[in-house]
Amino acid sequence: MKALSVENLCVKADNRHLIENITFSVEEGRIAAIIGPNGAGKTTLIKAIIGLIPYQTGSVSLFGHPFRHKNSHTRVGYVPQRLEFDRTFPLTVSELLGFTVPPIYSFPFHGKGKERKYTDRLLETVGALDLRDRNIGSLSGGELQRVMIARAIINEPGILFLDEAASGVDIKGQERFYDLVMRLNKEKGLTVILISHDLNVVYRFADDVLCLNRRLVCTGSPENTLTNEVIKTVYGEMMGAYIHSCNEHD
């Protein structure tokens, strides 16, 4: 089954195309990576798909249903590129997760205990149980991104959108982050659409690659898309693919 179908999607701003005639689909349970240079429209594409910015033409379907329907929202998880929030916001990690706990586990309908158990299990899944009572503003980049993943999957979405979610996180943190994404994909069958500038990450973790430069330049497996020719077409003549040998795609 197709988790995501995008057809002829166009987004314009000030009479200029930000993305043009984008058509692609992603099968359920796959990890698809969107690559492209700065200004290629990667974030615009994800934001248009999840309804954060309007698109002029085209359509988006999730699991066979048009996504403009409000109820579809419950099946989407999203971790943005740079989470903008007030760092002095007096909010603990468990309170943040409590905002989005499904009503079936939620206080006051089922008591604090059930809500706590549910959020604890979720934090354990992302390796962040020790952060439960920490203030959200005191978390490091990597810790915050793990918490944001927990928040994104709290309603058990079928599809997770990650917009350069690990940028600004140190190498060890990035490794842990993508291992977590991979584990959620394998264990829960979660479809993941991610944007990354790190071609090694894409090569290691993605099943499908979408090369974008306002238009869709190519799609396919990492082996077929991350070639010198394609990279030069997408990023320009100065660029080429160099995949570290220790990160073999399995």
Q: Is 104 in the site for another protein (CB under 8 A)?
A: no
Region of 29 on the Ramachandran plot (φ > 0 left; ψ -120 to 50 alpha; else beta): left
CB of 241 to another protein, least distance (A): 33
Q: Do the Cβ atoms of 146 and 127 come closer than 8 Å?
A: yes
Binding segment (CB under 8 A) for another protein, from list 59-67, 91-99, 199-207, 232-240: 91-99
Binding segment (CB under 8 A) for another protein, from list 68-76, 124-132, 208-216, 228-236: 68-76
50, 192, 210, 230: which one binds another protein (CB under 8 A): 50
3-state SS class at 74: helix
Half-sphere exposure of 39 (CA within 13 A, CB side): 3
The token pair at 204 is: 């290691």
Q: Name which of 10, 12, 63, 33 is nearest 211 in CA terms.
A: 33
Q: Is 86 in the site for another protein (CB under 8 A)?
A: yes
Q: What are phi and psi of 196, to 5 degrees?
A: -150, 145
Query: CA distances (Å), 72 to each of 6, 77, 91, 96, 160, in order?
Result: 15, 11, 28, 22, 13
Specify the residue, 73 or 186, whose C-beta has the smaller distance to another protein.
73
Q: Is 242 in the site for another protein (CB under 8 A)?
A: no
3-state helix, strand, coil in the chain (%, to 5): 40, 25, 35
The token pair at 178 is: 């993508």
Q: Is 59 in the site for another protein (CB under 8 A)?
A: no
| Total residues in contact with another protein, by rule CB under 8 A | 27
CB of 96 to another protein, least distance (A): 7
39, 57, 68, 89: which one binds another protein (CB under 8 A): 89
CB of 110 to another protein, least distance (A): 15
**What burial letters (b/e) apply to 154-173, b meaning 16+ CB within 10 Å?**
beebbbbbbbbbbeebeeeb
Binding segment (CB under 8 A) for another protein, from list 85-93, 169-177, 189-197, 202-210: 85-93
Which residues are CB-neighbours of 95 under 8 A, at least 6 positions away?
none
- Residues 8-37 binding another protein (CB under 8 A) are none
CB of 98 to another protein, least distance (A): 8
27, 37, 66, 83: which one binds another protein (CB under 8 A): 83
Q: Is 74 in the site for another protein (CB under 8 A)?
A: yes
Q: Is 78 in the site for another protein (CB under 8 A)?
A: yes
Q: Is 70 in the site for another protein (CB under 8 A)?
A: yes
Sites of contact with another protein (CB under 8 A) = 50-52, 70-71, 73-74, 76, 78, 80, 83-86, 88-92, 95-96, 98-100, 135, 151, 155
